[in-house]
Copies of this chain bind each other. A is one copy, B any other.
Amino acid sequence: MTSEPVPSFPTSLGASDPDTITLLGKDLAADLMGQVGFGELALWLVTQRRPTQAQVRVFEAVLVALADHGFTPTAIAARLTYLSAPDSVQGAIAAGLLGGGSRFLGVTEDTGRFLADVLAGVTGPLPEDDAGWDALALTAVRAARADKRLIPGLGHPIHKVTDPRTPVLFAIAAQEGLLGPHLKLFAAIGRVHTEVLGRTLPLNGAGVCGAALADLGLPPDLLRGFALLARTAGLLGHIAEEQRRAIGMDIYLTVEQHTDYQPPNVSPESA
């Protein structure tokens, strides 16, 4: 309609010409395929800096930890969507990912953001020993408590005492020299929260994953995205299993057979 000039659209991700495909400034075919793992590439795509092998190991441990937990609401939603629209695998995957919001998958992101906010409020140098981290954690937990905010990453509906992922991810990060301030603060919260809350809760796996991702330098606003990437692999597993041994119809029929129909409760004048 107009002859407005068109802006250019910058990107540092992919580009092609007739002979070459470039990705992240590298030659995809010559430099990346067969030489770079998929987890490594995913981390590189987000940070646009080639990760170290230590970073990749922690990152892939997080993805492995988050990939699947059996019949979660998101896995069930994906299976039911596949039942209804088997012609559209992308729709079933998308439906599963759409449950990656505040309540379940959100813990990873919420924990990373909570820790980052506490660290951002520190003036002066960060603590150098456990006592220093404990003091910082105690202040943060008390502040959250005073505001009636929950501490994200604390507690789990099934793993009441210990989430088995938590000590393992701390150990991997320590082995790789990547036990950074977010993980240290999260560990301190694990040590001190009982004093404020009056009961002992485990540090959960989703939370420790958020802390580890934040220590890799990943932005808090995107941590949920890594949980989604991990979950995409899990959802593919569910759809493959649904193809071999479908249960979506049984879930649907179970709900239908236990339906309790109750006509709307209307007063006479509005009926």
Contacts and interface: CB of A to CB of B under 8 A. Distances in A.
Contact of A18 (B14, B41, B48, B161): B161
A124 to B, nearest CB: 27
B1 A259 contact: yes
Contacts of A25: 263-264, 266
A229 B29 CA distance: 19
B241 A13 contact: yes
Nearest to A22: B261
Interface in A225-270: 225-226, 228-230, 232-234, 236-241, 243, 245, 247-248, 250-252, 254-266, 270
B14 A37 contact: no
User: In which size bucket is the chain A interface?
Assistant: 35 or more
Contacts of A196: none
Given A98-B90, A261-B22, A164 B28 contact: yes
Interface stretch (A74-82, A111-119, A126-134, A182-190): A74-82
A261 B91 contact: no
B29 A164 contact: yes
B236 A158 contact: no
Contacts of A161: 18-19
Contact of A240 (B15, B45, B257): B45
Contact of A261 (B12, B28, B101, B264): B12
Nearest to A254: B6
Contacts of A224: 89-90
A95 interface: yes
A179 interface: no
A98 B85 contact: yes
A11 to B, nearest CB: 6
Interface in A23-55: 23-25, 27-30, 32-34, 36-39, 41-42, 45-50
Given A11-B70, A28-B64, A90-B101, 11 more contacts: A6-B254, A13-B68, A29-B165, A33-B64, A42-B233, A77-B80, A81-B98, A88-B98, A90-B224, A91-B94, A92-B98
13 contacts: A12-B265, A14-B69, A16-B159, A23-B67, A29-B65, A37-B38, A38-B60, A38-B64, A45-B233, A50-B266, A74-B84, A81-B99, A226-B236
